[in-house]
């Protein structure tokens, strides 16, 4: 009779994959290095994940769902759009500063060809409410009529720049957090002429 799989081992393998991907990059990370980092035999990895692709997809989903929980669990569903976006901003930059390795790996996974459409859909679903808020804000002329994908990419790029400054200058982290959001907001908010 086969032994039951352990959540602890599965989680250790996911964490090891994250560490190895952060150090070596996705393409240069063999499963043997992931197994070694997790402290298990390589065959054990394949007990939990049939292929490296399956491991990559599981890690992508795990990170996206963790981030969704951080951003959406206390997301204010009412109130001014600016306040709601600032909440998301603050939650995201706090998570990114606290988890730079995980953010690095998420960036790699987000552009990896081996992440399936199904995994992308699972990773996107908890964030659909943010896209709906952006579309509503464009319709009601709170935000400029830029494509939602562009607004999201701009927010992510400015947030990652902000995270870099917050990490480099921890005594001024709150200042950079606020300045970063102000730059984002002033770039996407509709201003009366």
pLDDT at residue 164, rounded to an integer: 97
pLDDT at residue 42, rounded to an integer: 85
Task: Spell out the CATH class of 1-50.
Answer: mainly alpha
Architecture of domain 52-188 in this structure: Orthogonal Bundle (1.10)
State the DSSP code for 4: P
Domain ranges of the chain: 1-50, 52-188
Per-residue pLDDT of the chain (193 residues; tens, 9 = 90+): 445 567 888 999 999 999 999 999 999 999 999 999 999 988 899 999 999 999 999 999 999 999 999 999 999 999 999 999 999 999 999 999 999 999 999 999 999 999 999 999 999 999 999 999 999 999 999 999 999 999 999 999 999 999 999 999 999 999 999 999 999 999 999 986 4
pLDDT at residue 1, rounded to an integer: 46
pLDDT at residue 193, rounded to an integer: 46
**Alpha-helical regions (H) of the chain:** 7-24, 31-38, 42-48, 52-72, 81-98, 100-110, 117-124, 128-139, 148-168, 173-188
């Amino acid at each position: 009779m086969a032994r039951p799989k352990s959540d602890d081992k599965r989680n250790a393998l996911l964490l090891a994959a994250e560490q190895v991907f952060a150090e070596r990059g996705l393409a240069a990370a063999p499963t043997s290095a992931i197994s070694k980092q997790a402290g298990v035999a390589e065959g054990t990895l394949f007990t939990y994940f049939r292929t490296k692709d399956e491991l990559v997809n599981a890690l992508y989903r795990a990170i996206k769902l963790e981030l969704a929980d951080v951003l959406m669990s206390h997301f204010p569903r009412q109130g001014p759009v600016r306040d709601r976006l600032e909440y998301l901003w603050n939650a995201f930059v706090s998570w990114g500063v606290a988890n730079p390795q995980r953010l690095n790996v998420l960036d790699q996974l987000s552009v990896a060809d081996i992440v399936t459409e199904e995994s992308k859909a699972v990773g996107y679903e908890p964030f659909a409410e943010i896209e709906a808020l952006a579309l509503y804000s464009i319709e009601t002329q709170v935000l400029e009529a830029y494509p939602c994908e562009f607004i999201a990419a701009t927010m992510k790029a400015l947030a990652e720049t902000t995270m870099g400054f917050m990490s480099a200058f921890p005594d001024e982290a709150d200042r950079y957090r606020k300045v970063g959001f102000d730059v984002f907001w002033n770039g996407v908010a509709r201003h009366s002429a």
